[in-house]
Amino acid sequence: MVAGVATAAAAAAWLRVGQDEPPGVRPASPLVRAALHHAASQAEKRQVNWRGLVRNRSLWLLAVSYSTVGYVEYLLIFWLERYLKQVMHYSTTQSRLAAMIPMLCMAACMPLGGWMSDRLMPALGYRRARAAVALLGMCGCAGCLFASTFARSAGYSVAAFAAALAAIGVAEAPAWATAVDLGGKDGATSAAVVNTGGNGGGVISPSLSPWLVGVLQPLVGEAAGWAWALRLGSLVCLLGGLLWLWIDASERAPASG
């Protein structure tokens, strides 16, 4: 609710002070606006080069890799609070507050990945800089997520989850920048392909994980069931990170005429 009110206030402020024209410039007349609109409508329309995108191996590898990012992120977004409450025995209020910490860590580290890859480009080159940061982030997430299953206290568990999501947050910027670059002039479409992969992974994990816990709970107990669900997420993330060894950020699709 607080976020909704803040967003509404920001939108209202923008409507109040926002301008269509730069400061000090007289607004365009209706005739000029009509001419500009006509010119834009008559501009040559270029079709998306689907053939080039479909043949772009790196784009599809990135889409699969990003699906593993979605798998892990949605797993924790949907089930971390319940895990902390049911397995680590936090109260309802404590589990809600504690579950917020890893999410904030992920958000804080997202810009860091872009900064790191930009700084590494002079030394490693375009392809290796992007791949190195993404691989480091996703493998780091896999390791921290795996380590979380051995935590014996709620505090250590939250710290491990925070480190896991912080690490995968680092991988976000290289993934999105590469998604746009791979499409060339069709960068928006290639980014949509990658984002679809991420959402695909995000659809699977919130359903698969509790199902796996339900299957394992009669055999090993709820805590161990969740541990194996998290370890599966760790393995998925590791495999997705390793795909960056074959993703070439400079493999752009040719533009269609």
At 137-164, the pLDDT tens digits run 999 999 999 999 999 888 899 999 999 9
Asked if residue 84 has pLDDT above 80, the reply is yes
Please give the Cα distance from 15 to 196 (Å, whole number).
32
Is the sign of the CA dihedral 98, 102, 103, 109 positive or negative?
positive
Which pair of tokens denotes residue 238? 């590791």
Distance CA 120, CA 116 (A): 6
Q: Where are the domains of the chain?
A: 101-246
Q: Backbone dihedral region of 220: left (phi > 0), alpha (psi from -120 to 50 degrees) or beta? A: alpha
Task: Name which of 69-83, 156-170, 240-254 the model is least confident about.
Answer: 240-254
pLDDT at 250: 80
Q: Match 């568990």 to its residue by tokens.
A: 157
Tens-place pLDDT, residues 117-135: 999 999 998 889 999 999 9
Q: What's the rounded Cα separation, in Å, for the pair 254 and 84?
A: 48
The counts of H helices and E strands in the chain are 9, 0
Angle between helices 92-124 and 57-86 (to 10 degrees): 150
Cα-Cα-Cα-Cα torsion 58, 61, 63, 65, nearest 10 degrees, comes to: -130
Least confident of 2-6, 39-43, 216-220, 230-234: 39-43
